Amino acid sequence: MVNNTQKQTKYIFVTGGVASSLGKGIIAASLAKLLQSRGYSVTIQKLDPYLNIDPGTLNPYEHGECYVTEDGAETDLDLGHYERFLNTPTTQGNNVTTGRIYQSVINRERKGEFLGKTVQVIPHITDEIKRRVKLLSTKNKFDVVITEIGGTVGDIESLPYIEAVRQLRYDLGSHNTLVIHLTLIPYMSASGELKTKPTQHSVKALLESGVQPDILVLRTEKELGEEIKKKVALFCNVDSDAVIESIDVPTIYEVPLRMLSQKLDIVALRKLGLKVEDAKLDKWEAFVDRVKNPSCEVKIALIGKYTELPDAYKSIVESFIHAGAENNVKVRLQYVNSEEVTEDTVSDMLSDMGGILVAPGFGGRGIEGKIVATKFARESNIPFLGICLGMQCAVIEFARNVIGLKNANSTEVDERTPYPVIDIMEEQKNITEKGGTMRLGAYPCKLTVGSKAFEAYGTELISERHRHRYEFNNKYINDYIKAGMNPVGINPDTELVEVVEIPSHRWFVGVQYHPEYKSTVVNPQPLFVSFVKSVMDYKL
């Protein structure tokens, strides 16, 4: 940590304008990475302006992947980027939604804590937003808290957040706060021009709410040139070195380097009155170099039901980038819709794959295709990784086709199956509420020495994150061992089976937990690294 005589935490807010999905999360994470590389302790928070308490109940079509933290919070997928970039864990406090804000204000109102006053958006909701922003740094003192505000400036639902930013700037002083506004500079191919007007309007919308941005990051397909940057600076009241271009790049991991070359971090530190120490980014640069220049390529099928929406599997996709870089290989993911996989199509669809991953999921739709794909991987000796529902498919498939338990299933799919080899966890049986009630977050797991998982992790005791209600049914454990599928990872406290393997297979591992949530640039997840290695040994 930088020896910073001022102990005051500095707050950086990242807002977005003109369009959604411009990559605020990546810009926030990139800036955080740069500040971290200069010795500052940084955390990133996402404020989401929707009414759900958390994204746990949202369909992946609505919101992409639900990312799970160590402490078991179901959060926005941007938190995954924060962890992958910074290599530090996030917590429930790093993702707050409007639903959560209102819920706590309303709970306090019911307790009579407002002493007969009228409870209003301003000041009560904005106070709660401000409290949540500041709370992050009260437990663990951070030098800098970066708060990303979801949505787009001008949205009705974003207004209380922008108002809270205005108030916080007033409360804390402009030298302790910074606003970075990310907008889009569209390119009109008909006239061959880059257009700054939407950015001007979006800054105007922020100004109407009393917030003057300090730094503008302009997302663009084409290089902007000095003229455009100067024009934007002039119209939007920002210094010309505080207009930063964010051009499309082949990998998100290059964004911090692009921001570094334009001194985004230096401009931010200067404005916050913080010292500029040397940036140590050698490891990051080496990683980006490996991502961009792999020595060869392998193909892995990702069998899931949200295949037209890769964001649903964001952490898995990123884990393969980390594991690929570690192995100096590019992993080409082939998204395969499990509903299209049948005994008739499977060979055509999967025989030229170097590896097969069966993805997590909920409910019965597409599960039979996942089971067929698992069978194909097992019988063809193709490296296989099953995650959560993917592991459960491996267990079901093995029961049906090797042990001979006809119609074995998970009770999630078929409550009346004669062989419930996957069954609801005891503590889940009486739960009726859907939100935040699964088995969530980090739990320990003890691995069998000599197993593939043990080889991958290089240690017996591991901890991984979970998100499920169903589990391996221990009643059948001996049938599995006898037939050649071993439980090689067990929760030492509850005896839950967390990892299964087929030792006679080249590389066949199913995990009840989600290894993908813990993969970072600095620490690629060991199972993914080992899986990719086995794919290379098989195919190259």
By CB under 6 A, name the binding residues for ligand GLN. 360-362, 388-389, 412, 467-470
Contact 438, 469 (CB under 8 A): yes
Between 230 and 475, name the residue whose CB sits nearer to ligand GLN.
Answer: 475
Catalytic, 516? Answer yes
Between 375 and 467, name the residue whose CB sits nearer to ligand GLN.
Answer: 467
Q: Which two tokens stand for residue 170?
A: 């007033």
DSSP run (H or E) holding 42: strand 42-48
In the bound complex, what is the minimum distance in angstroms from residue 467's beta carbon to ligand GLN?
A: 5
Of 65, 318, 501, 516, catalytic: 516
- Alpha-helical segments (H) within 419-505: 452-457, 477-483
Give which of 126, 35, 136, 146 is closest to 91, Cα–Cα: 136
Between 160 and 361, name the residue whose CB sits nearer to ligand GLN.
Answer: 361
Between 363 and 503, name the residue whose CB sits nearer to ligand GLN.
Answer: 363
The shares of helix, strand and coil residues in the chain, as percent rounded to the nearest 5, are: 45, 20, 35
Q: Which two tokens stand for residue 365?
A: 């739709």
Catalytic, 66? Answer no
Give 301: exposed, middle or buried? Use CB within 10 Å, 0-12, 13-18, 19+: buried
Report the DSSP beta bridge partners of residue 16: 182
In the bound complex, what is the minimum distance in angstroms from residue 25's beta carbon to ligand GLN?
A: 22
Between 100 and 468, name the residue whose CB sits nearer to ligand GLN.
Answer: 468
Of 66, 236, 388, 393, catalytic: 388
Number of H helices, E strands in the chain: 18, 23
In the bound complex, what is the minimum distance in angstroms from residue 401's beta carbon to ligand GLN?
A: 21
In the bound complex, what is the minimum distance in angstroms from residue 388's beta carbon to ligand GLN?
A: 3
DSSP state of 140: S
Rounded Cα distance between 264 and 242, Å, is 7
DSSP state of 381: T
Rounded Cα distance between 227 and 137, Å, is 40
DSSP state of 52: S
Between 470 and 507, name the residue whose CB sits nearer to ligand GLN.
Answer: 470
Give 449: exposed, middle or buried? Use CB within 10 Å, 0-12, 13-18, 19+: exposed
Catalytic, 308? Answer no
Rounded Cα distance between 374 and 315, Å, is 21
In the bound complex, what is the minimum distance in angstroms from residue 261's beta carbon to ligand GLN?
A: 40
CB atoms within 10 A of CB 188: 9
Between 414 and 460, name the residue whose CB sits nearer to ligand GLN.
Answer: 414
Of 322, 468, 505, 514, catalytic: 514
In the bound complex, what is the minimum distance in angstroms from residue 335's beta carbon to ligand GLN?
A: 17
Give which of 180, 175, 136 is closest to 25, Cα–Cα: 180
In the bound complex, what is the minimum distance in angstroms from residue 69's beta carbon to ligand GLN?
A: 15
Active-site residue numbers?
Answer: 388, 514, 516
